[in-house]
Structure 1
């Protein structure tokens, strides 16, 4: 057998992890076989006697007459049958003259028994491979403690007191346990929390005798808490938003421990805590601009640490929120008037899915029509400040400086009703931007009521979801009949494909449609998918989450590379610049997008 086969094996996972001696053993005990076009290699329910490696050519997998998948050079046939000792599930047919390396079952089993990493390659699910893929895209590798579920984190043991206990006894308990807090009530019924700050501010600084005052009189209530299945990074974000230092962790209605900010040793968390504190105390637009620049400069180093893309995007969204909130506060001071309103962010910022700081879509919902003039003034001042801080202007003018995006709650209800009743392409585009809104300043009750109004409208106008789905199905993943990538043939993006249009958008839009149908208030795509697990199945949900992360990570890496090369960041990549591993995963991701679109088409009876 030619040495070219050894070179071929060294270039294709998982053979590239094997020592030279093992490769020689495989080559000396295997053979090359020529398979002419249209020949059936394996039939459905037939057991495979070989691991087939496609050296040249291509094959198609068929079931019940339908094409399931295409395989090409570097792909394998028969691995599932051999690994799991089960019959082949498809008819495998050559679609062109092909050459296979046929590795006998006995040889394959000897190799996997000696090399666990070799076996692992064939036993990994698509989800596992995608997860590994987006982590490999990032330069650094590390075990990210941000992704530890809180139930697995070392929590502080909760300390309790009765609401009638005097403060001196409570303080003694805290001192004895060396804790900075005490929970009022019990693990099933939290009636409040007392912190060392409460002792200083509410008792000592006022010269009150701690024996003459009870826990009930100085407690903070209601108590902010977090569920045990949430990730550590979500606790960090909640502490930042609520400006608190500790959170009781709840599981099945009972407190299992308390997480404190000082116990969270994550470098990135320290950075974000520092930045948010700086934004909070700063009032100079020029200084805020410098902070904004520092955030932009921090994205690439954060990305290179291997930070999970979901965490990275939520961190960036949290910081962006702080800039917008500061701009609103400063604008209200300048306006010298306050009124009942909610400042909302829309689109990717509403979903907490921004990384490279593109424009931020936003708007205002105010309660009473008589407040319209104040709301319009406020919107213009806020946008002026955001532009000065460094946020790019929205080309489509979807900003609070545009009267079209500053309306009373009643006006928004009429606007939304018009969009839903008349779902033309423009109105569908507006709903795609608006329906991911998030209130980041002001009266959240206004926005919650509007969301309920939207859910009720959609329930009565299911055709709107059908029209949205039809639009989603128009965006085909850029992968052809023979699993080749479909790229632009001419123009600025020649030989490139659009990741957003072909993969990210169909996931975001499809998930949004199902979230609206199921009255899910979350706006983040991954959070929505977690809520939809029971509706679309755990496997498809997990596949979509990992595909979405992979596509987002690939896009961000490409954008950072283009910025470094002095180019404008966009959503295009050249697949020829990817490794074979990345190409295979990109095809897997696009295949999952197609599978999701097929599910949507069947669900809304657009496909049979």
Structure 2
């Protein structure tokens, strides 16, 4: 059976043909009965094991801890292959067949193949980066096949040749345009901000001078419906930064090189422009509905998950702010604060998730249409693709709309009940603690968050109860090795994400850290030496891995559930990373229990 060993799985796909032959020449097969304790802690390794069939458990007999499970195509014990004694024990959970490779042959392969050796010596962060690199650059053809249409063309504003320099400048600023089209006797020219600057500053022209002499009438054009790639070629060939877009003989828009390049890097810039320029709800809705495609394009082009989250958080914030400005009377806007919470507040969304928002009202605000406007706000977000929050944490729920003083009183009540261990009050504090202001008077929010930090300071019992919530879900490590997740899949939120997010939130409140993003909180905790640097790095990489795996599977057809991972769809390398990450979570749970003195965990 050794000659049928598959070299398609990482890292064995890195071996050359001659190295594969050496591998097969020394490969053997061994059989272990169920519950065979075949490797003991402290022993010196002589073989590398690769599971062909069955299930092996890595554990510690001394303290009865379970560290990992290994099944088809998994290998172990790598640490001991480099000369260290076996750190843990190994036993079979069921009848198991393994390939074995002598340690000296394995070391020879490491010495002769740098890429193969590098794989085994990488830590979680490096393996994750390697996986991202392999998955990157999947789909650049989209850019080449994209056509010029209304969604990616800057509007063309045509003015007369007698318009003054001052008026043209004001029009550019008011309409947020970089270019104007000047019409003179049936001819069309292009007038840019640089042209206006040259006229006013370098040529010292009077501000009431006509723009006619400063426009460029030698225009290069491209047809609406042509390929975006051809627009870039035209600009490159003529060494210009702008072309006009025509529909027949009519000028319908302008395309700029910076704009084209931004489209090439996944359309983020054009969506931001569409959000900023939206004049009504329908235009904003169309921009919002493109966000999921943006995330998919970013993923397909190998963009790191942390940048996707940052970009999506910015885009979502812009959409909420724009909708707020379109609906809320201008006289009211500076007297209220719109805040988002949950993953949105932490800047950790990877797709549109539930609406989690609230409002802080000024003390003397008079707003008769408040209820109707806020109901309309939530309904429009629903039409944009943001589902309602199951817990009704939304501005259309009066409970989440209060004056500043009412919020302070509410937080005081939650703090009081939290000291007696009321889990609902503690979770409400967690929700507000993660809040982020996106529109209106943003100065209304920080005092509320500071009240939570001050109210928890020195309250060891309450902090212990708060942190205990992070330990409520069991680790899926016991089931993962045997691919024993149920038909629905492995819930990565319960199994990993929530523990890290809430555990780090607990530590951040204890230390008075105001930032909301989990990765930023981890870095702050490392600076304060609450977390060791290695632990900090592992937690950051693990959380990013969980987000990335969740996003990858969510973007696949027929995937059910945002937080469910189908283990059978993971590659061996992904499964190895997932198991490593779950082990990081398990160790973090033990750290939290010790740090907050949670004795019965």
- TM-score band, normalised by shorter chain: 0.7 to 0.9
Aligned partner of 1:516 among 496, 509, 514: 509
* Equivalent in the alignment of 2:44: 47
* Residues 365 and 269 of structure 1: CA distance in aligned 2, closer, same or farther (over 3 Å): farther
Q: Deviations over 1:75-102 (max 9, x none)?
A: 434532333x333333445555554444
Query: Given the alignment of the two structures, is residue 536 of structure 1 paired with residue 531 of structure 2, yes or no?
Result: yes
Q: Measure how far apart 1:277 and its partner are.
A: 2.5
- Residues 277-319 of structure 1 show CA distances to partners (whole Å, capped at 9, x for unaligned) of 2222221111111111222332222221111111112211211
2:438 to 423, 436, 440: 440
Match of residue 320 from structure 1: 316
Contact 1:40–1:92 (CA under 8 A) maintained in structure 2: yes
- Tell whether 2:358 aligns with 1:363: yes
Residue 78 of structure 2 corresponds to which residue in structure 1? 79
Aligned to 2:405: 410
Shift of 1:124: 1.3
Shift of 1:436: 0.9
Report the CA distance between 1:338 and its aligned residue.
4.8
Look up the match of 2:302: 306
Call closer, same or farther: CA 1:478–1:202 in 2, change over 3 Å. Answer: farther
* Structure exhibiting the larger radius of gyration computed from Cα positions: 2
1:111 counterpart = 2:109: yes
- Contact 1:285–1:389 (8 Å) recurs in 2: no
1:571 aligned to which of 550, 560, 563: 563
Question: In structure 2, how many angstroms separate the alpha carbons of the residues matched to 1:577 and 1:283?
Answer: 44
From 12, 15, 24, the counterpart of 1:15: 12
**Cα offset for 1:404?**
0.7
Q: Select the residue among 589, 595, 598 that pairs with 1:603.
A: 595
CA RMSD of aligned residues (A): 3.6
Deviations 1:448-489 (CA, angstroms, capped at 9, x unpaired): 12221111001143333222222221112323178334423x
Counterparts of 1:245-264 in structure 2, within 5 Å, are none
Number of equivalent positions: 492
Q: Is the 8 A contact 1:372 1:407 kept in 2?
A: no
| 2:481 match | 483
CA spacing shift, 1:124–1:337, aligned 2, 3 Å: closer
- Where 1:553 maps in the other structure, the secondary structure is helix
| Counterpart position of 2:336 | 341
Q: Distance in 2 between the 1:510 and 1:487 partners?
A: 24
Q: Is the 8 A contact 1:420 1:458 kept in 2?
A: yes
CA distance in 2, matches of 1:42, 1:141: 46
d(CA) in 1 for partners of 2:68 and 2:339? Answer: 45
Q: Secondary structure of 2:60's match?
A: strand
CA-to-partner distance for each residue in 1:120-161, whole Å, 9 max, x for gaps?
Answer: 22111133223434555667299xxxxxxxxxxxxxxxxxxx
Secondary structure class of the residue paired with 1:415: helix
3-state DSSP of counterpart to 1:535: coil
- Distance 1:70-1:411 versus aligned 2 partners, 3 A rule: same
Check the 8 A contact 2:429/2:452 in 1, yes or no: no
Output aligned runs, 1:28-43, within 5 Å: 28-34=25-31, 41-43=38-40
Deviation of residue 552 (structure 1)? 1.3
Kept in 2: contact 1:31–1:102 (CA 8 A): yes
Aligned equivalents of 1:295, 1:601: Cα separation in 2: 39
1:407 shift after superposition: 0.9
Q: Displacement, 1:33?
A: 4.2
Offset of 1:71 from its aligned partner? 4.5
Query: Where in structure 1 are there 5+ consecutive unaligned residues?
Result: 143-194, 210-260, 489-493
Q: Name the CA distance, whole Å, in 1 between partners of 2:313 and 2:117.
A: 40
Name whichever of 393-402 and 98-107 sits farther off: 98-107
Contact 1:137 1:557 in 2 (8 A): no
| Contact kept in structure 2, 1:376 and 1:406, CA below 8 Å | no
Equivalent position SS for 2:359: strand
Matches within 5 A, 1:490-505: 494-505=487-498
Distance 1:203 1:410 in 2: 52
Alignment equivalent of 1:5, drawn from 2, 7, 15: 2
Residues of 2 paired with 1:383 and 1:201: CA distance? 49
Matched, 1:275 2:274: no
Deviations 1:293-348 (A, max 9, x none): 22233222222111111111221121111111111212233x75455221111111
**Residues 31 and 98 of structure 2 are in contact (CA less than 8 Å); yes or no, is this contact kept in structure 1?**
yes
8 Å CA contact 2:263–2:270 kept in 1: the answer is no
Partners of 2:520 and 2:403 in 1: CA distance: 29
Residues 485-527 of structure 1: CA deviation (Å, up to 9, x unaligned): 4423xxxxx3522122222211211111111112222211222
